[in-house]
Amino acid sequence: MADRKATLTVDGLDKTIELPVYSGSLGPDVVDVRGLGAEGLFTYDPGFMATSSCQSAITYIDGGKGVLLHRGYPIDQLAKESNFVELCYLLLFGELPNDEQYADFESRVSNHTMVHDQINNFFKGFRRDAHPMSILCGVVGGLAAFYHDHMDINVEEDRIISAIRLIAKMPTIAAMSYKYNVGQPFNYPRNDLNYAENFLYMMFSTPCEEYKINPVYAKAMDRIFMLHADHEQNASTSTVRLAGSTGANPFACISAGIAALWGPAHGGANEAVLKMLDEIGDDSEENIQRFIDKAKDKDDPFKLMGFGHRVYRNFDPRAKVMKETCDEVLAELGIDDPQLKIAKRLEQIALEDEYFVERKLYPNVDFYSGIILKAMGIPTNMFTVIFAVSRTIGWISHWHEMLSDSYKIGRPRQLYTGHDQRDYPAK
Ligand code: SDX
């Protein structure tokens, strides 16, 4: 793979070091620095700004051009032409399914949507007002107790059944977290509904009356699931890969991914966007400008939530589709949401402001998603839960890809800045 070399010279080191350079199918070349350890050197890259942690064929992002490909297919085409279950198949197996493969996969997912009845008892340990992400973290990790002894991560079929169990059960557990919060009885999943319909049914159906699926909501929900499905080596996916590299079972790894996603700098941003729009209050120029100024103020920790991205230095292609979906859903529902007006005005002002322009800060996937979810009656504390339901396919596909190839336990080093060795003081 390496036919090119990088040559490194280090002051004080009386030799040059040659390092292999590899090219992928798309994107930047990489310098293989693994040989530096033998030379008594480490690389230093806090936050992994320029570090590729692995090889992967699942998702490609071109941050400069605002391109996102899943197994080569552009996200905007998938979001408009495909559906979430088909995208799950594509991400996990690498190719689009034919009709028979799709039917079989969809049926396998449907037949694993129920959780063991004992899982219901997990919820009783939480306060009713527990954040549903805390419940999700705990209950998904607890799934390991039911499957740990019945799977071998080194057997491909065991990995696939674990992936299907997770894809299938995440919406059920997510909806249970919501029902527990609102004090309503849990709903069993229904195999006659598709993935998005089933999630909405489990969320909003009550024993008192028949729940009618709103096709606008179901289509928007499926598209939101698709737009959040995978995103290369983001923080939570890297967490899942690191946990998986120790041989931990997939349920524990996904629970670790959920924990990492929860942060407001990552998947928690969608909830934070709605809180920010609430705080802004109205789309008056002075109110919006006040928040823009806060975001620019180095002494103020406030950041414009839903803006900026480690990789995208252009529009996040998912944000574009999300914005279109937002307009469609609100128009179909006849909702004139003042927060959408604030969001659009905020985006317009920010994109004309030198601070954001020179830093190439654009709306990301989280900027508009919350407005759609709110329009569907989903509470803000469920937004990141929905992100986690969707991202589970990304996490587990990366986990499966890593375990399908040779891999080593992830174990970074450091630049040590502590004390030299010193003796314990004599008493
Ligand atoms: C997701 O990685 C992924 O792929 C994530 C994700 C996925 O699908 O998995 O896409 C999902 O997490 C989307 C991002 C959601 N987070 C937010 O919307 C929170 C707000 N955004 C920021 O916190 C920030 O933009 C990050 C965390 C997303 C990215 O941070 P980086 O890459 O570390 O960028 P940075 O902080 O170095 O920013 C560069 C400059 C800094 O200013 P200077 O020091 O150069 O003066 O831009 C500024 C930052 O202060 N900046 C912002 C800003 N984002 C960056 N200033 C104000 N508001 C912002 N939102």
Name the nearest CA neighbour of 137 among 275, 253, 267: 253
> Model pTM?
0.95
Q: Categorise residue 364: left if φ over 0, alpha if ψ from -120 to 50, beta otherwise.
A: beta
Three-class SS state of 404 = coil
Distance 91 CA to ligand 1 centre (A): 26
Residue type for 120, please? Answer: N
Residue having the nearest C-alpha atom to atom 18 of ligand 1: 306
Which fold would CATH assign to domain 4-52? Rubrerythrin, domain 2 (2.20.28)
Mutation test residue for ligand 1: of 49, 233, 240, 310, the one with most atoms within 8 Å of CB: 310
Instruction: Say if ligand 1 is within 6 A of residue 238 CB.
Output: no
Q: Say how many Å lie between the CA of residue 3 and the centre of ligand 1.
A: 36
Q: What is the rounded CA–CA span in Å between residue 107 and residue 91? A: 17
Distance of CA 217 to the CA centre of its chain: 21
> Which of the listed residues 361, 391, 392, 398 should we mutate to test ligand 1's pocket, taking the one with most ligand atoms within 8 A of CB?
361
Nearest partner of 398 among 152, 109, 91, judged by Cα: 91
Q: How close is the Cα of 265 to the center of ligand 1, in Å?
A: 7
In the numeric block, which tokens belong to residue 358? Answer: 């020179």
CB-ligand 1 contact for 346 (6 Å cutoff): no
419 catalytic per annotation: no
CA of 365 to the centre of ligand 1 (A): 12
4-52 and 73-226+235-263+382-397 have identical folds: no
Name the residue among 159, 168, 162, 161 with its Cα closest to residue 114.
168
pLDDT for 1 equals 54
Residue 261 is predicted with a pLDDT of 97
**Amino acid residing at 158:** D
Q: Whose CA is nearest to atom 7 of ligand 1?
A: 231
State in Å: Cα 92 to ligand 1 middle.
Answer: 28
User: How many C-beta atoms lie closer than 10 Å to residue 366's C-beta?
Assistant: 29
Give the DSSP letter string of 337-383.
-HHHHHHHHHHHHHHHSHHHHHTT--B-THHHHHHHHHHTT--GGGH
Residue 309 among the catalytic residues: yes
Residue ID of nearest Cα to ligand 1 atom 40: 359
Give kind and range of the element (H or E) at residue 74. strand 73-74
Q: With a 6 A CB cut-off, is 364 part of the ligand 1 pocket? A: yes
Q: Is the CB of 294 under 6 A from ligand 1?
A: no
The hierarchical CATH code for the domain 73-226+235-263+382-397 is 1.10.580.10
Dist. CA 312–CA 289, nearest whole Å: 24
Q: Is 223 near ligand 1, meaning CB less than 6 Å away?
A: no
The one catalytic residue in 70, 231, 366, 400 is 366
* Average pLDDT of adjacent 10-residue blocks, the chain of 427 residues: 85 91 97 94 96 98 96 97 98 98 98 96 96 97 86 95 97 98 98 97 97 95 98 98 97 98 94 93 87 94 93 92 93 90 90 92 92 94 97 98 96 97 95
Q: Which sequence spans correspond to the domains of the chain?
A: 4-52, 73-226+235-263+382-397, 268-376
Q: What pLDDT is recorded for position 162?
A: 96
* CATH fit for domain 268-376, picks 3.20.20.60, 1.10.10.10, 1.10.230.10, 3.40.50.720: 1.10.230.10
pLDDT at 147: 85
